[in-house]
Amino acid sequence: MKSRLSLFAIVILALVTTIACTNPEKEYATMLIYGGTIYTVDSTSVTVEAVATKDNKILFAGSLAEAETYKNEQTEIIDLKGKTMTPGLIEGHGHFMGLGYNELNLDLLNTTSYQAIIDAVAERVKSSKPGEWITGRGWHQSKWDSMPSEVVLGFQTHHLLSAISPDNPVYLRHASGHAGFANEKAMEIAGLLDLSLDGVRKYEVEGGEVLVDASGRPTGVFNERAQTLITQHIPERTPESDIKAFDLAVEACHKNGITSFHDAGIPKETIALYEKMKSEGKMQTRIYAMLTGWDKELLSTWYEKGVMIDEDHLFTIRSVKLNCDGALGSRGAWLLEPYSDRPDHFGHETLPMEFVKETAFNGLKNGFQVCSHAIGDRANREILDRYEMAFEKMPEAATDHRFRIEHAQHLHPDDIPRFAALKVIPAMQAVHMSSDRPWAIDRLGEKRIKEGAYMWQDLLQSGVPIVNGTDVPVEPINPIASFYASVSRKTLKGTPEGGYEPEQKMTRTQALRSYTLDAAYGAFEEDIKGSITAGKLADFTIYDQDLMTVEESKILDTKVVMTIFNGEVVYSVDK
């Protein structure tokens, strides 16, 4: 009898254990989202009816009926009311503090003439103390409606700017960041008012140039590394202004549906600022940071320290940014053949290729991804060559390197398949095509434009993902503009009919991936973000219309109406 009771007890215990194991305590959602079109960017299901999140993670994505089983009285309910939701957008190449400071300083991105710049500076002079520096960014002479009467090598001269600001030094960065424009007061402070060179029309600086007029006097335009002749005299930013710029950058990201940001090149001071912001709970955008390659001491320190992969997924450092040539607009992009509109000029190698090679080896050796800025076809080729040398020498370390080329804007046709062959990721900002293509043909000529510029579809078909973005503050951070450029190949004014080189258009699915899952892949983060998949981070962007199906002509009308970051609503037009 006793053995029967023992056997019975064992059976009951086994049954209870089985029930307990097969029916764990139910998890409940902290947020339930439904009522609109939800694009997952997950291969298992293009769209779902509802998403349930718990704290900062996705708990469930699927049918509304099943999602509601995760609901209790504490669950926050968000009814999309017909709106559209995607994974949180990822800015794949930008400059976070540049975004913030563009909000603080003169924003010249929307200026359409030299006179508009003069007017903006004149207005700032009124509120500035004598001797106080006036700085700004965003002008682009190739985008102006008209050019001033006095130009040198296609650029304006300083005389009008100097006349309206005789007592305040002025320095205005080109939209690309690869050139700058100074007034006479700024050049006086820098000791650069007389650069006579016996009629030579430019003053060469290693990796840059100072444009001069026929008499050898500087025009005020400083190209590439020559900018430091002026910028070294501009007072340093203060801790207070850095914090203000940081907060403004976070706010701008939220308004534009950006939940993650690939910060393309930061110094040690910015690293310290980000660590401070995180410790104070102010890191409300996920930053994937690239160490600036200008500072060899910084790189050595981090090679010894090793990568920093944040378990909170807020601030990660595991890559290095190298600036290897200039921009097409300022004729700084390094070309294999000379510029069509300046036949004696090939652009600039702004960083020795030997250092690129050295950094590629160090990156593989120490586990750091290398991200090299290259716009011209020669810069792209030279970098691919250096990467390949490193991969061949260290094949075991190169199995999942995910080295990138930032911009990859103009490629020789022979180099296009090399990206896939070497598994190098092109991080390309589609909106640059929209802004630059109308005048880029003057720089490169029709043949080079058609065979090698903005080659999105050729690269995608070769088997590599594209990381999209805006290069803010070179362009406004607005992701809708870059999405539109990706799928239309048109300017933001909707021209030309059919788009430039339409065979290179992305599909809308490709364009959305380039801002979500493929961008996450470009930062080794596809397992934690980039798609609406159970277990991933609860970052979402919500729009007022379906940008995946709306008529192409209406894509630019799309507005971000809500941003959810880390499982919390951080921006809403209704607030």
Contacts of 43 (CB under 8 A, 6+ apart): none
Distance CA 348, CA 45 (A): 47
Query: What is the reported pLDDT for 109?
Result: 84
* pLDDT at position 85: 98
Q: How many other CB atoms are there within 10 angstroms of residue 59's CB atom?
A: 21
Condensed to tens digits (0 to 9), the pLDDT of residues 361-377 reads: 999 999 999 999 999 99
Which amino acid is present at 287? I
Give the CA-trace dihedral at 457, 461, 462, 463, to 10 degrees.
120
Say yes or no: do domains 2-82 and 102-231 share a fold: no
Q: Report the distance separating Cα 412 and Cα 551, nearest Å.
A: 34
Question: Residues of the chain with pLDDT > 90: what percent?
Answer: 84
Residue 291: φ, ψ to 5°: -70, 135
Domain ranges of the chain: 2-82, 102-231
Say whether 460 sits in a helix, a strand or coil: helix
The span from the CA of 99 to the CA of 466, in Å, is: 23
Mean pLDDT across 412-417? 98
Neighbouring C-beta atoms of residue 441, cutoff 10 Å = 18
Is the pLDDT score of 2 beyond 50? no
Given a cut of 60, is residue 309 above it in pLDDT? yes
Is-contact 99 266, C-beta < 8 A?
A: no
* Average pLDDT score over residue span 258-274: 98
- Cβ atoms of 161 and 121 within 8 Å: the answer is yes
Per-residue confidence band for 127, with pLDDT thresholds at 50, 70 and 90: confident
pLDDT at 439: 94
Q: What 3-state DSSP class applies to 333?
A: coil
- pLDDT tens figures, 90-106: 999 999 999 999 888 88
pLDDT of residue 514: 98
Q: Residue 301 corresponds to which amino acid?
A: T
Closest by alpha carbon to 63, among 32, 92, 100? 32
pLDDT at 574 over 90: no
- Residue range 544-552: average pLDDT? 98
pLDDT at residue number 89: 98
Does position 318 have pLDDT exceeding 50, yes or no? yes
What is the gyration radius of the CA atoms in the chain, in angstroms?
26
pLDDT in tens, 381-401: 999 999 999 999 999 999 999
Pairing outcome for strands 568-572 and 106-107:
unpaired
pLDDT digits (tens, 9 = 90+) for 61-72: 999 999 999 999
Quickly list DSSP for 394-406.
-TTTTTT---EEE
pLDDT per residue as tens digits for the range 428-483: 999 999 999 999 999 999 999 999 999 999 999 999 999 999 999 999 999 999 99
Q: What is the pLDDT of residues 282-291, one digit of tens each?
A: 999 999 999 9
Burial pattern 187-201, b for ≥16 Cβ within 10 A else e, equals bebbebeebeeeeee
Torsion of CA 7, 11, 13, 14, to 10 degrees: 130
pLDDT at 195: 60
Looking at residue 7, what is its pLDDT? 52
**Pairwise pLDDT comparison (79 vs 215), residue with the higher score:** 79
Determine how β-strand 208-212 pairs with β-strand 202-205.
Answer: antiparallel
pLDDT digits (tens, 9 = 90+) for 39-90: 999 998 999 999 999 999 999 999 999 999 999 999 999 999 999 999 999 9
Q: Is the confidence at residue 229, as pLDDT, over 60?
A: yes
Cα 173 to Cα 182: distance, rounded to the nearest angstrom = 9
- Of the pLDDT bands very low, low, confident and very high (cuts 50, 70, 90), residue 215 is confident
Measured between alpha carbons, how far is 536 from 88 in angstroms, rounded to an integer?
A: 11
Residue 364 phi, psi dihedral angles, 5° rounding:
-65, -45
DSSP-derived letter for residue 337 is S
pLDDT higher than 50, residue 486? yes
User: How wide is the angle at C-alpha 206 spanned by C-alphas 202 and 207, nearest 5°?
Assistant: 90
Q: Whole-angstrom Cα distance, residue 375 to residue 510? A: 22
Average per-residue pLDDT for the chain: 93
pLDDT of residue 5: 45
Is pLDDT of 16 > 70? Answer: no
Least confident of 205-209, 237-241, 321-325, 345-349: 205-209
Architecture in CATH of 2-82: Roll (2.30)
Digit-coded pLDDT (tens) for 148-199 = 989 998 999 999 999 999 999 999 999 888 899 999 999 999 988 876 544 4
Instruction: Please tell me the predicted confidence (pLDDT) of residue 175.
Output: 87
pTM strictly above 0.75: yes
CATH topology of domain 102-231: Diaminopimelate Epimerase; Chain A, domain 1 (3.10.310)
Map tokens 């939800």 to a residue: 38
Give whole-number Cα distances, 320 to 172, 223, 384, 419, 453, in Å. 27, 24, 16, 19, 25
* Joined tokens for residue 447: 């043949």
- pLDDT > 90? residue 497: yes
Confidence (pLDDT) at 204? 66
In this predicted structure, what is the pLDDT of residue 93?
A: 98
